[in-house]
Structure 1
Amino acid sequence: MKKLLIILHDLNAGGAEKMMARLAGALAEAGNDVTLLMLTGGGINAERLDPRVKQVELRSARSSTAVPALARFLRNNRFDAQLAALTHVNVVAIAAAALSGTLARLHVSERNAFSYDKHVNPAMRVRAAYLLAPLLYRLIPNPVICVSHGVAQDLINTTITRRQDVTTADNPVLDNDFREKAPGCPSHTWLQEKTMPVIIAVGRLARQKGFDTLIAAFARLPNLSTRLIIFGEGTLRAQLLEQARALGVAERFDLPGYISDPRAEVAAADCFVLSSRFEGSPNVLIEALSTGTPVVSTCCPYGPQEILEDGAIAPLVAVDDPAALAQAITLELTSPRDLNRQARIDAAARFMSARAANTYLAALLRSQPL
C-alpha cells in the first residue's frame, strides 16, 4: 500500500476536478491510502468522492495564498507521491513542496492545451502562474503528466519545456464495468418522450466550447424538426439564447443547465457533438463514445484526433466551420444508428478507471505497470 496525495483547488464542476475525484477513487480501489487535498474547499464533485478517500480542506482565501499552509501539511504528513492538477495549483504545489523538502515526491499535471488555456483567465495571479510554470517544469525532478500527447507536444512547442520534462497518462473517465452498466434514464423531456431527432452537447457555456458554431450549424440542418440540447452553465448563456432567437431555432433549442450524469442523456440522443475550439482530452467525448451514440467532433487541439483515431472512429471537422459541422451531423443523423457502434465503445474502453490508475501509479512511483 502506498500513501498518495492529490492536490486541487477545489472539487467544483470542472472536468479536471471530476477526473481527479475519479482518479482518487481508482487509486484507493487499487489498495492505496489516498488523500485528496483542496487548497480552498468544497464543490459539487465532493459527493462523487469514494468514501475511502480522505478529504482535507485548507480553506485558503485563494490558491496563491495557500503556499504556507500546504508546506506545513506536506512537512507534517509524508506521502510516497504527491500529484497536483491545473497550472496555477501546480505552481503553488511546487513552491510548497520546495519549502517542505518534498519536491522529489511531487508530480504535477497539465489538463488542457497550455498555449490556448493561458489566455482564458485574465486575472494577474493566473497570468503570473502561466508565465512561471514552464520555467518550474524544467527545474522540478519529475516530468509533467499530460492528459494527451497533444497537450504534451503543445508544452514542448510553445514553452521552454523539453521533451524529457513531460510524460502522458489517460484520464479515468469510465467505470471498469461500463460495458455491462446500462445508462440511467434521461432527465430531459425531449429525450424521455422523443418524437423527433435530438442532438446533445455538454460543457461550460464558454468560448472554448464553440457552442456558437454548433448553433450556427444546427440552423443549417435540412431536417427542421431536429432539436438541440446543450447541458452546462456559464457566462455565455444569454448570448447563446439570443443567437438561437436570431437564427430562428429558439423553439427547438434548450439550455437546461448542469447535468450530473451526461451518459444518460447522450445514450438517449441521436447524435453527440463536440464543437470545441481547444481541449486537453475531452472527457465528455469519451463518455459519449461509451454509450455507442453517434458522435461528431471538431478536430481541435488537442485530444479528439487521438481519441477518434484521426477520424476512423467518428467524423472530425475543422474548428469554426458551421457548414462542415452541419454536413457531418446530417450524415450521422441519416445513417444507421448502429453503424460503427462497437468501434465507438471499444475506443472509449481505453479510458477505464483501473487502466488509468495503473498508468498513474507507474508515473508517480516510477515503477512498471502492475
Structure 2
Amino acid sequence: MKKLLIILHDLSAGGAEKMMMRLAGALADAGNDVTLLMLTGGGLHAAHLDPRVRKVELRSPRTARAVPALARFLRANRFDAQLAALTHVNVVAIVAALLSGTLARLHVSERNAFSHDKHVNPDFMVRLAYWVAPLLYRLIPNPVICVSRGVAQDLIDTTVARRQDVTIADNPVLDDDFRDKPPGLPSHRWLLDHSSPVIVAVGRLAPQKGFDTLISAFATLADSSARLIIFGEGALRAQLLEQARSLGVADRFDLPGYTNDPRAEVAAASCYVLSSRFEGSPNVLVEALSTGTPVVSTRCPHGPQDILIGGLVAPLVAVDDPIALAQAITQQLSTPRELQRQSRIDAAARFMNASAVETYLAALLRRSSP
C-alpha cells in the first residue's frame, strides 16, 4: 500500500476536478491510502468523494496564498507521491514542496491545451502562474503528467518544456463495470418522450466549448423537428439564449443547467456533439462513447483525434465550421443507431478506472508502464 496525496484548489464542477475525484477513488480501489487536499475547499463534487479517501481543506482565501499552509502540511505528513492538478495549483505545490523538502516526491499535471488555456482566465495571479509554470517544469525532478499526447506535445511546442519534461496518463473516466451497468433515466422531458431527434452537448457555457457554433449548425438542419439540449452552466447563458432566439430555434433549444449524470442524458439522445475549440482530453466525449450513442466532434486540439482514432470511430470536423458540423450531425441522425455502436463502446473502454490508474501509478511511482 502506498500513501498518495492529490492536491487541488477545490472540487467544483469542472472536468479536471471531477477526474481528480474519480482518480482518488480509483487509487483507493487499487489498495492505496489516498488523501485529497483542497487549497481552498468545497465544491459540487466534494459530496461524491469516495469515503475511503481522506479529505483535507486548507480553507485558504486564495489558491496563491496557500503556500505556507501547504508547506506545513507536507512537512507534517509524509507521502510516497504527491500529485497536483491545474497550472496555478501546480505552481503553488512546487513552491510548497520546495519549502517542505518534498520536491522529489511531487508530480504535477496539465489537464488542458496549455497554449490555449493560458488566455482564458484574466486574473493576474493565474496569468503569472502560466508564465512561470513552464520554467519550473524544466527544473522539477519529475516529468509533468499530461492527459493526452496532444497536451504533452503542445507543452513542448509552445513553451520551454522539453520532451523529457512530460509524460502521459489517461483519465479514469469510466467504472470498470460500465459495460454491465445500464445508464440511468434521463432527467430532461425531451429525452423521455422520443417524439423527435434530440441532440445533446455537455460543458461549461464558455467560449472554449464552441456552443455558439453548435447553435448555428443546429439552426441549419433540414429536420425542423430536431431539438438541442446543452447541459452546463456558465457566463454565456444569456448570449446563447439570445443567439437561439435570433436564429428562430429558441422553442427547440434548452439550457437546463448542470447535470449530475451526463451518461444518462447522452444515452437517451439521438446524437452527442462536442463542438469545442480546444480541449485536453474531453471526458464527456468518452462518457458519450460508452453509451453507444452516435457522436460528432470537432478536430480540436487536443484529445478527440486520439479518442476517436482519427475519425474511424466517429466523424471529426473542423473547428468553427457550422456547415461541416451540421452535415456531420445530419449524417449521424440518418444512420442506423446500431452501426458502429460496439466500436464506440470499445474506444471508450481504454479510459476505465483500472487501466487509467495503472498509467498514473507508473508515472507517480516510476514503475514500468502496463
TM-score, scaled to structure 2: 1.00
Moved over 3 A (4+): none
Is structure 2 residue 199 aligned with structure 1 residue 199? yes
2-structure distance, mates of 1:213, 1:48: 33
Paired AA for residue 135 in structure 1: L
Question: By how many angstroms is 1:194 displaced?
Answer: 1.7
Alignment of 1:272-283 (within 5 A): 272-283=272-283
Aligned to 2:249: 249
Structure 2 SS opposite 1:56: strand
Structure 1 SS opposite 2:290: helix
2-structure distance, mates of 1:304, 1:168: 16
Q: Deviations over 1:243-291 (max 9, x none)?
A: 0000000000000000010000000000000000000000000000000
Structure 2 SS opposite 1:42: coil
Alignment of 1:204-223 (within 5 A): 204-223=204-223
Alignment of 1:119-198 (within 5 A): 119-198=119-198
Aligned to 1:21: 21
Question: By how many angstroms is 1:66 displaced?
Answer: 0.2
Aligned to 1:78: 78
2-structure distance, mates of 1:181, 1:46: 24
Structure 2 SS opposite 1:196: coil
Paired AA for residue 144 in structure 1: V
Alignment of 1:101-120 (within 5 A): 101-120=101-120
Question: By how many angstroms is 1:368 displaced?
Answer: 2.4
Alignment of 1:84-95 (within 5 A): 84-95=84-95
Structure 1 SS opposite 2:313: coil
Q: How many residues get paired?
A: 370
1-structure distance, mates of 2:51, 2:328: 43
Q: Deviations over 1:317-367 (max 9, x none)?
A: 000000000000000000101110000000000000111111101110001
2-structure distance, mates of 1:89, 1:127: 12
Aligned to 1:355: 355
Q: Deviations over 1:112-132 (max 9, x none)?
A: 000000000011000000000
2-structure distance, mates of 1:59, 1:217: 44
Structure 2 SS opposite 1:66: helix
Aligned to 2:365: 365
Paired AA for residue 72 in structure 2: R
Question: By how many angstroms is 1:193 displaced?
Answer: 1.3
Alignment of 1:228-267 (within 5 A): 228-267=228-267
Aligned to 1:285: 285
Q: Deviations over 1:119-158 (max 9, x none)?
A: 0001100000000000000000000000000000000000
2-structure distance, mates of 1:147, 1:359: 10
Paired AA for residue 361 in structure 1: L
1-structure distance, mates of 2:368, 2:88: 30
2-structure distance, mates of 1:118, 1:359: 26
Gaps of 5+ in 2: none
Paired AA for residue 329 in structure 2: I
1-structure distance, mates of 2:22, 2:335: 35
2-structure distance, mates of 1:203, 1:19: 14
Aligned to 1:323: 323
2-structure distance, mates of 1:48, 1:334: 38
Question: By how many angstroms is 1:369 displaced?
Answer: 4.5
Is structure 2 residue 4 aligned with structure 1 residue 8? no
Paired AA for residue 40 in structure 2: T
Q: State the superposition RMSD in angstroms.
A: 0.6
Question: By how many angstroms is 1:192 displaced?
Answer: 1.0
Aligned to 2:342: 342
TM-score, scaled to structure 1: 1.00
Paired AA for residue 21 in structure 2: A
Structure 2 SS opposite 1:176: coil
Structure 2 SS opposite 1:297: strand
Gaps of 5+ in 1: none
Q: Deviations over 1:166-191 (max 9, x none)?
A: 00000000000000000000000001
2-structure distance, mates of 1:358, 1:335: 37
Aligned to 2:313: 313
Paired AA for residue 152 in structure 2: A
Question: By how many angstroms is 1:48 displaced?
Answer: 1.6
